[in-house]
């Protein structure tokens, strides 16, 4: 009987250890149309391509909660429920572009991003903040302050930072759709590299 108990205990320990070992690293992407695959097949979008690459290298699951047209206010409202539902290990925050395009106050964007960073950390998730830029025709002062907001938040909160999500793409008409805002399918692998370079540092 004692041997049977020991055997059952060892068996349970092995099964439990395997369960923990097999639990994937969950990455929640909170973004707008740049992450939702606007104008292209969602399977060609950078989030899908990144998951395809990472799953070949490690046990990773990506939950893409991005919505076209999303603002930081919308992300702030949706994030708490998503954190509870998915319990991610990492949250990628790719929001702010639509705030800027609508000329919303940068203070509001900063407050919303700070709320999402705090909520993610409280849920024991690491944060990777995606830096964004807008053309100077929105006003040099506004554009410069917008660009500076992301590294400042990352430094303040000690989070990961993608300096500029569209590095190597922005300004290149061959890699942008006709609207001049959204990258083409051909540009998505470049975004993957921009994200992956910083993501691996916190995985």
86 catalytic per annotation: no
What number of other Cβ atoms are within 10 A of residue 52's Cβ? Answer: 12
3-state secondary structure string, 120-168? HHHCCCEEEEECCCCCHHHCHHHHHHHHHHHHHHHHHHCCEEECCCCCC
User: Which candidate in 32, 33, 72, 89 is catalytic?
Assistant: 33
Cα–Cα distance measured from residue 114 to residue 111, given in angstroms and rounded to the nearest whole number: 5
HSE of 25, CA atoms in CB hemisphere, 13 A = 15
177, exposed or middle or buried, with CB in 10 Å at 0-12, 13-18, 19+?
middle
179 catalytic per annotation: yes
41 catalytic per annotation: no
User: Which candidate in 32, 66, 99, 182 is catalytic?
Assistant: 182
What number of other Cβ atoms are within 10 A of residue 136's Cβ? Answer: 11
Active site residues: 33, 179, 182
């Amino acid at each position: 009987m004692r041997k049977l108990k020991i055997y059952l205990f060892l068996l349970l320990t092995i099964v439990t250890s395997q369960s923990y070992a097999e639990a994937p690293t969950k990455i929640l992407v909170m973004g707008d149309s740049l992450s939702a695959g606007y104008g292209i097949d969602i399977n060609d979008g950078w989030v899908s391509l990144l998951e395809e690459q990472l799953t070949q290298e490690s046990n990773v699951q990506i939950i893409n909660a991005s919505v076209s047209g999303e603002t930081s206010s919308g992300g702030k409202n949706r994030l708490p429920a998503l954190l509870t539902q998915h319990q991610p290990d990492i949250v990628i925050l790719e929001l702010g572009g639509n705030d800027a395009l609508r000329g919303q106050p940068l203070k509001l964007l900063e407050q919303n991003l700070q709320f999402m960073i705090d909520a993610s950390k409280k849920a024991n998730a690491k944060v990777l903040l995606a830096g964004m830029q807008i053309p100077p025709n929105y006003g040099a002062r506004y554009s410069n302050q917008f660009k500076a907001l992301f590294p400042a938040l990352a430094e303040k909160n000690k989070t990961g930072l993608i300096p500029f999500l569209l590095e190597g793409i922005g300004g290149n008409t061959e890699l942008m759709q006709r609207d001049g805002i959204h990258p083409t399918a051909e540009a998505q692998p470049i975004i993957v590299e921009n994200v992956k370079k910083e993501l691996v540092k916190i995985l």
